[in-house]
Structure 1
């Protein structure tokens, strides 16, 4: 008997059985419900009070999220058109079909000093996806603050994050992750702040960490990666976030990681390549890809965390070497057991526009396949593996 069935009272069990004449054992019905889409669960909340209570139990939410992410995750495709100042979000299933076009909320700008005015231009940048929630950066025309939101597009819940001050002189980098050990979600943001030391103003590189459990930001020391440059990419596994960085000479690419529990940064050298990126997480390991300097091929590495006497570190091993048609062939994310690649093709006759084609490489079968009906012309395009979830981050207590 599982935790969900144990949490049910006699009336819950009676309802799950289907009244006086049971058709299925209540444990089987619960297993079926755990595998339904989020929107179906939301509709079924009105079936009866017993089911509504069941859907709010932590054990049911956890099991439902596990099935959604591991068995049938969606591919979330995010495109943006500068001409119309418009973002577009599509959910695609494993059959390469568009399941839903997601509606992006207005994201009201609140909790900032009244002397500042903000105009959200309609564009959002997705920082990361975790347990059904997206961490999004609102793109505004002016103002010295980074405006972030946590958003569950299927339940339509939005949580405002306290604004964080930053300088527009350089692009910021962020990350979003969760640790089951401390049961907390955290956002990491790298930026430059104007500091005044001995009467001199200058821009200093700093990192801030937001904790959902405290609903507050704090500044952290970069420690071992103080002189390393974090430049692009982000991914997370349970308890760890990662980015691609370089050393001072920009010759040696690094995997820069952040432990959500200890809040400590580390860096691990990785093989030299052009345009190294993080493909995502696969079987709780970070997967990297990059074009090799000496050949027209793409290499895929796996970074596995190992324990040692000096603490945790990462070991790097190459898994695949793939022939690629061009250097515009880059990865988006890992979706199930496949790496989603985007081939960017400049569209003739339209200034600034590009055409994107999606192709998938299966890490198990080592075979390629292409999305036959997904080809869009936008200014930018990105993708994320997304599992629908009933987890709520609106209440003060972290789910």
Structure 2
């Protein structure tokens, strides 16, 4: 047509446009041309894509759950719709065969830049649910003390070292043995801490802190280069932190919330880039929920009073809404502004729900595809998904 002239979009502008697209679209566009495919793998594009998702608040939801409490009941993940009007319905269910023989598995650490660390006992893996890449971590090469009877793998933390551009996993190990005075053994366990580096794809031993962590995270405990655990030290309850860059431990006090851990649950979390702590009663089905935030010292950010028929909080959503597990062990969404409690119709066995809120990421983990690891994704509504 006359009056039209051919023009080309500069590469920089094109890459800026493409960096705003979802991972699923970028996977298709890899086939358009080799330069595009190569560009999608560069650190600059990966970072820009992730930052765009953070800026636009493009959140995704995975729900880990189980329908029973025996070794025959497999834990799995459900992807939830986040589109407006989608009512957070289940779009697909995801089964991970690598963890099928583990009870209550896998425990989830993260997300960190869109990546998750999954673990149970001595088994651990990294997973990018956006690119569907899965990496089984190698067995630890750390030497164990002599004459031990058993080794148990405990709390684990996962995070990013921005100094070396490396993803790291820190894991606590307890070695048990029978007391034997003839061999000079005075205790019945020895603690170790080991650190995995994705760059080197190997483990090493690091110093054991004086405080010892406990419990499984309900929320994401990684915040801006640090991972946090609840811990005990010198007969006191406190918070243990690990700096992913300098690989050192330090401690923080718990917030002074006016009660005891015998009466209240306290769960750590990333709240808008700061360390937070949610506190709620252990007993009763009418819960008041307090959020504390650490900014040099602990301050109470807000309180939600007397929410009826709920068991525990599971995570925050875009506009301050709070996902909760109801007393009937269903997923509900609570709006603190209107106090509306909306049942989403998704059920699980009690205390097996964990909600993972993450943004899409192209970060590679040097693993293999989900298909190669026999990870199964089934669309919701398939008859094989009803149990």
Q: TM-score range by the shorter chain?
A: 0.7 to 0.9
Task: State the partner residue of 1:66.
Answer: 51
Residue 347 of structure 2: aligned partner: 376
Deviation digits for residues 343-377 of structure 1, max 9, x if unmatched? Answer: 2424xxxxxxxx22232457xxx565555434213
From 259, 266, 277, the counterpart of 1:276: 266
* 3-state SS of 1:338 partner: coil
What residue number does 1:189 align with? Answer: 171
Change (3 A) 1:338 1:242: farther
Aligned partner of residue 348 in structure 2, secondary structure: strand
TM-score (normalizing by structure 1): 0.72
Aligned counterpart for 1:222 among listed residues 208, 232, 253 = 208
Q: Does 1:356 pair with 2:340? A: no
Alignment partners' CA distance in 1, 2:90 and 2:23 = 13
Q: Which residue is 2:42 aligned to?
A: 57
C-alpha distance in structure 1 between counterparts of 2:162 and 2:93, whole Å: 28
How far apart are 1:289 and its partner, in Å?
0.8
More strand per residue: 1
Query: Which of 26, 29, 37 is matched with 1:44 structurally?
Result: 29
Give the SS at the match of 1:155. coil
Distance 1:175 1:375 in 2: 29
Output the CA distance in 1 between the equivalents of 2:244 and 2:77: 31
> CA–CA distance in 2 between the matches of 1:80 and 1:247?
34
Question: How far did 1:388 drift?
Answer: 1.5
Q: Secondary structure at the match of 1:172?
A: strand
> How many Å separate the matches in 2 of 1:149 and 1:171?
14
Change (3 A) 1:315 1:182: farther
Q: CA RMSD in A?
A: 3.5
Contact 1:281–1:334 under 8 Å retained in 2:
no
In 2, Cα distance between the equivalents of 1:23 and 1:102? 43
The structure-2 alpha-carbon separation of the partners of 1:30 and 1:257, relative to structure 1 and needing over 3 Å to count, comes to same
Structure 2 unaligned runs (5+)?
Answer: 368-387
Contact residue 136 and residue 150 of structure 1 kept, 8 A: yes
The answer on whether the counterparts of 1:229 and 1:245 sit within 8 Å (CA) in structure 2 is yes
- State the alpha-carbon separation in 1 of the partners of residues 150 and 353 from structure 2: 22
Query: Bigger CA drift: 188-197 or 264-273?
Result: 188-197
Cα displacement (A) at 1:285: 0.4
Verify the 8 A CA contact 1:93 1:99 in the aligned structure 2.
no
Q: How far apart, in 1, do the equivalents of 2:308 and 2:239 lie?
A: 24
Distance 1:322 1:91 in 2: 25
2:66 matched to 1:80? yes
- Give the Cα–Cα distance (whole angstroms) in 1 for the partners of residues 339 and 192 of structure 2: 41
Shift of 1:248: 4.6
Per-residue deviation at 1:195? 5.7
**Structure with more contact order per residue of length (Cα contacts < 8 Å, sep ≥ 6):** 2
Task: Tell whether 2:274 aligns with 1:285.
Answer: yes
> Post-superposition shift, 1:121?
7.2
The SS at the match of 1:231 is coil
Contact 2:151 2:176 in 1 (8 A): no
Provide, for residues 270-327 of structure 1, a one-character-per-residue CA deviation record: whole Å limited to 9, x for no partner.
224411101x22332011110379x9632111113xxxxxxxxx42111112113369
Q: 1:156 to 1:229 in 2, by over 3 A?
A: closer
Matched, 1:267 2:241: no
- Contact 1:335–1:384 at 8 Å: present in 2 too? no
Instruction: Note closer, same or farther for the CA distance 1:45–1:121 as it changes in structure 2 (3 Å cut).
Output: farther
Per the alignment, residue 17 of structure 1 pairs with: none
Written as runs of structure 1 = structure 2, the 5 A alignment for 1:243-392 is 243-249=229-235, 253-269=237-253, 270-272=255-257, 273=259, 274-278=264-268, 280-291=269-280, 297-304=288-295, 314-325=296-307, 329-336=311-318, 338=320, 340-346=322-328, 355-360=329-334, 370-379=341-350, 380-392=352-364
Residue of structure 2 equivalent to 1:11:
none
CA shift in 2, pair 1:211/1:371, >3 Å: farther
Q: Counterpart of 2:106 in 1: which secondary structure?
A: strand
CA 1:235–1:76 in structure 2 vs 1: closer, same or farther (change >3 Å)?
same
Any gaps of 5 or more consecutive residues in structure 1?
1-19, 109-117, 139-144, 305-313, 347-354
Q: 1:57 to 1:170 in 2, by over 3 A?
A: closer
Alignment: residue pair count: 336
